[in-house]
Structures are given as structure tokens and as C-alpha cells.
Structure 1
Amino acid sequence: MSVMPLPKPRVSLTLVAAFFALYFIWGSTYLVIRIGVESWPPMLMAGCRFVIAGGLLFAWSLWRGAPLPSAKQWLSAGAIGILLLSGGNGGVTVAEHWGVASGVAALAVATVPLFTLVFGRIFGHRNSLLEWSGIGLGLCGIVLLNLGSNLQGSPAGAALIVFAAASWAFGSVWSKRLPLPAGPMASAVEMLVGGVALLIGSQISGEHLQQMPDVRGWLALGYLVVFGSIIAFSAYIYLLNNVRPAAATSYAFVNPAVAVLLGVLFAGESIGWPEALAMAVIIGAVVLIGLPQWRGRAEG
């Protein structure tokens, strides 16, 4: 009796689209932020981005039947939103306004996995020798990054971009221990609270529009709302539920290269040898940190 051959596994178009969104849309947002802050005050633009995206996602979640978050969930998600979006993404936006190149900003944010492991120690996570090696190598990469002309030209931007990466990492670690709303509602609340915090910061710091943003500025805001905050985030959630976590977080390897390439091609940015070497070192460090995840999944 002949045995029918098993069909080869098909690659879902949805899966391909999700990875494209994660790698290239998130990678492109650094250049779009750079374009946006040419006509928007940075915190005002970031605040509008997240309030609009969060409001749309909140309304969509309610329409889909999601329950209203409790007071405790609002507080928890709000705290995470301030860490991730106000401190993390808002910090990147302000740093780019201060002159940090979009590619260098993306490369600095690639250090998030390093900070995540460090903050994990606070909550009892024990790092392996390989992970500690990755942290050490990543710190060397940060030193190299600061030797480049981009960050030397903006010391405040350099400090802010590192703070942004640390804020995002701490919020990511802490979020696993807080009572958050279920599904997309958690992100909606985080965006709303983080966005409002940025708008308050914009007012306190005295930001104001000198004139209405030009067409490029409005298109940048629209791109960040629709593609950067709604589509790319939804793709990330989809991948977390359908592929290995190490694969879902592999954007940390790809986003810096995409951002550097787009910045050189479309914004006239230049990357010197310290930044290029820092890219290789930091990505190597992230690979070292990811190896235990891949090994564990392969053995499982």
C-alpha cells in the first residue's frame, strides 16, 4: 500500500505580513519620527500619536465586547504606559529632536534586552553566564556608540536615549507582575495614559506650535498612529501568540539596520566607524542573550 506524502507546511501570508510589519514598519518609525519633529514639538507629537492611537484601540476593544478596565487596572496599565511610551518612546522622540540620528537612536534602543536582563534581577530572575556575557558585550557597544560623532554632538541626547531604553525595559519587566486589562485593552489604556502624560509634559516644558505642521509633518503623525502604533503593535501581539518568543522579539536585530539604511538613504545621515562597530557589537550581544531562549525551545 502506498503512503501518501505529507503536505509541506505552508507559510501563512498573515505570518509573513506580521514579520514585515515588525521588522520594517517598526524600523522605519525612527526615520518618520525624525521627519515629524521637523515641524512638531517632540512631546506634543508623541502625545498626540498615542492619545489618537489609544483612543481608536480603546473604542475598537469596547466594540468587540471587552469590559471596561477596573480602577486597579487603569493604575497598573497607566504606570506601564508612562514607562514604555512617555519615558521610552517619548525619550527617543525628544532625543531625535535634539539631533540624535534616527539610525543611532534605533541602535541605542536595541540595548533594551540588556537592560531587561539587568532589571530582571530585581524581581528574582537569575541570569546565566552567557546572558551576563551578553550584558558585558552590550555595555561595550554602548561605549563605542558614544564615541561616534552623532552622540558626542548631543550629550544630552545620548543620556536621554539610554534612559529611554532603560525605561522601556523596566516597564516591560514590571508589566508581567501587574494586573493589566486583557488583550488589546491593556495597550489602549497604556497609550492613553502615556500620551496624556506626554501632553502634560509638553505644556509644562513650554512647547507650542510656531506654525501649523506642513504636509510632511501631518503624514508623519498619521503614519506613526496607524502603522507604528496600531498595525505594528497588533503584528507583535499576533507573533507572540503564533511563533516562539525568541522569533517574535527578533526585531531587536533587524530594526537598527533598517533604521540606519533608511536614515542614510532618505535623511542624509552618516554613520561613522564607531557606530558601525557598535552596531555589530550590540547585535552580537543581543544574539548571545537570545541563545538560551532558542536552545530551550529547541530542546523542548
Structure 2
Amino acid sequence: MRERADTGLPAADSTAPVAPVAPVEGLALAPPTRPRRRISSAVWAALAIVYVVWGSTYLGIAVVVETMPPFLSAGARFILAGLILAALVAWRQGLAALRLTRAQLASVTLVGLLLLLGGNGLIVLAETAVPSGLAALLVAVVPAWVVLLRLLAGERPGIGAYGGVLLGLVGLAVLTLPGLSGDVQLWGVLVVIAATLCWSVGSFSSSRIPIPANPYTASAYEMFAGGIGCALVGFGRGEQRGFVLSEVSTGSWIALAYLLVFGSLVAFTAYAWLLHRAPLSLVATYAYVNPVVAVLLGSLFLQEELSWPIAVGGAVVVAGVCLIVSTERRG
């Protein structure tokens, strides 16, 4: 999840475009059931970007937090990404494209905080205690939260979605074993799960509250709001104390730049676009594919151990995504 992760949950970095959310006071009722549409090649292309790029952001986050404070580094990345994206929107479409109503401003602020502070920010924090591959695999619980939220809103997901969620939860249980056995710090595992809940609520609500029609405008404001939130939390935690800029490694700078450009501007924007163009249950499948990419990269570059819980849990969640994807395609 990376870090709207560097994402990772987060984003996760990741910085991928964020999904608009319904006010917490009461999730909006589900829209009338619509005939299912054929999934276009553009949707599959955007999904491929989110799958691969966000999967790599977990590795980027792990490298960044080696010599940078978690929330302050995430805040800097999201704020800068938001400013760059806003500048691009103004350049291509004019300043009028950045105008918001008060209701829209409140919505993008809420979504940005849920996705980038609660989602990606917590993932960045968790990766100071758990391996990047395990963090990515734990994000598999996202589709389970999404289905629960859809049920609360009055929707009825197909049987394939329930089966996929069940497999995802089984995989999540297996992946939690390293924390329960003491092989990793349990608090880091719990923080990742909390991050997935924040991300799921933000994604689910995004299509149910007044969000700017332009997904790039929405993403810019969401990243800016999330970045400010991360920075404030970082200062509140005292991350600035003892931090010396000159002691940041070259690897951390390169990883931060990668998360900014690819995790936030490219993948996050693709994610925001998908939230308005594809079924949410299909978009949420990134949580199943990202871990596979993250585990492979973590093993190759960070020598993270591929233990049996990670291998088995990863296989189970991949099976879950196949069920969900096949269900959506039949629509």
C-alpha cells in the first residue's frame, strides 16, 4: 500500500492517485445496480502500472527509511508530488481546472488523509519494523475491507468476490504467523493492517462524495493534504530531532526520487483514474499482485528471507485475486 504509498500501502507508496470517499457520518447508499461493462484495454494498462510500480515501492520505502525519518520523508514526497501534479494540470488545462467548491475541498482533504497519511504513512512507519515483502503481503486484506464496506452500503458482491476475500483472509492469517511467533515485531504487522483499513475506507468513499471530475486535480489536492498530514505527524513525533540531512545516504535519495516520480505521480494518478473507470473490487486486486513483486524485489535486493508463511500466504492471496478478477470480467 504503500506509499497515494510511496504508497507501498502506502503507500505502497506509494503516491498513486487517491480514491474519493463518502463522509464518515454515513456512507452513501450504493448507486443503482448497473449492467456490467466490458473491461477496456486502457483499464488493464492502468492496472498493470499499479500492479508493477506499486509493488516496487515497498522496496523503495524500505531503502528510504534506512536513513530518513518515516513520516517526514513521506510528507515531503507527497507535498512535492502534489505541487508538481497541480502545476502540470494548470499548464495543460489552465488554472480553472484547479478550482474546487468547499464540499470538494473537504472531500479531497478527507480522502488524502485516509489514503496517504492513514494508508501510506502507516506503511512507511511499519517498514521500520517488518520486511518490505511481508508488509506488501499483509496489504492483501484490502479487498476484504472493501467487500465489507460494500455490504454495509447495500451492495451485493458476486459469489466470486466472497471466495476471493475468503482466500485473501486465509492468506493474511498465514502471513501474520511471523509476527505471532516473534520472528518480526507484531506491532509492525498490526500497523500494516490498520493502514489497509484506512486505505479501504478512503478508496470506497471516493466515489460517493463530491470529488472533482478531473482525477488529476483530485489527486493533486489529495497528495498535498496527505503530505501535510504526514509532515505534521512527523513533527509531532519529534522525527526532526537528531536528523541530519548530510547523513542521508545516496540510496535513500534515489529511492525517494523514484517514489516521487513513479510511485506518486505515475502510479497514484493511474489508481485515481481507475477508481472512476473500473469496478472497485477489480481495482482493489492490486493488493494481491503488489506483494508478489515486492517479495521478489525484497529477496533480490535486500536479502529478505522467503520463509514458508510468506511463500504459502503469497500463493493463497494470488489465488484470491484470480477469483475476483474472473468475477468482474464475467460482468
Counterpart in the other structure of 1:210: 243
**Ranges in structure 1 where 5+ consecutive residues have no aligned partner:** 1-11
**Ranges in structure 2 where 5+ consecutive residues have no aligned partner:** 1-40
Distance 1:120 1:16 in 2: 23
Secondary structure in 2 aligned to 1:179? Answer: coil
Larger radius of gyration: 1
Counterpart in the other structure of 1:171: 202
Identity of aligned residues (%): 41
1:228 is aligned to 2:263: yes
Distance 2:159 2:274 in 1: 28
| Deviation at residue 149 of structure 1 after TM alignment | 5.7
Distance 2:145 2:307 in 1: 25
| CA spacing shift, 1:237–1:191, aligned 2, 3 Å | closer
Distance 1:207 1:189 in 2: 25
- Bigger Cα displacement from structure 2, 177-186 vs 62-71: 62-71
Q: Is the 8 A contact 2:137 2:172 kept in 1?
A: no
| Deviation at residue 133 of structure 1 after TM alignment | 2.8
1:1-300 → structure 2 map (5 Å cutoff): 21-63=49-91, 64-65=93-94, 66-97=97-128, 99-148=129-178, 152=182, 153-183=184-214, 184-208=216-240, 210-212=243-245, 213-236=248-271, 251-296=286-331
Q: Is the 8 A contact 2:144 2:165 kept in 1?
A: yes
RMSD between superposed Cα atoms in Å: 2.6
TM-score norm. by structure 2 comes to: 0.78
Tell me which protein shows more helix as a share of its residues.
Answer: 1
Q: Is the 8 A contact 2:130 2:185 kept in 1?
A: yes
| Deviation at residue 178 of structure 1 after TM alignment | 0.6
- Bigger Cα displacement from structure 2, 24-33 vs 128-137: 128-137
Distance 1:85 1:18 in 2: 20
The CA deviation string for residues 2-53 of structure 1, in whole angstroms up to 9 with x for no partner, is: xxxxxxxxxx9x9997565333221111001000001111001111111000
Distance 2:302 2:249 in 1: 17
The CA deviation string for residues 107-162 of structure 1, in whole angstroms up to 9 with x for no partner, is: 11132122111111222112333322332222221111111369842111010101
Instruction: Report the number of matched residues.
Output: 284
Q: Is the 8 A contact 2:115 2:203 kept in 1?
A: yes
| CA spacing shift, 1:177–1:55, aligned 2, 3 Å | same
Distance 1:173 1:30 in 2: 23
TM-score norm. by structure 1 comes to: 0.86
| CA spacing shift, 1:78–1:241, aligned 2, 3 Å | closer
Distance 1:231 1:150 in 2: 36
Distance 2:180 2:81 in 1: 31
AA aligned to 1:200 is: L
| CA spacing shift, 1:90–1:151, aligned 2, 3 Å | farther
| CA spacing shift, 1:224–1:140, aligned 2, 3 Å | same
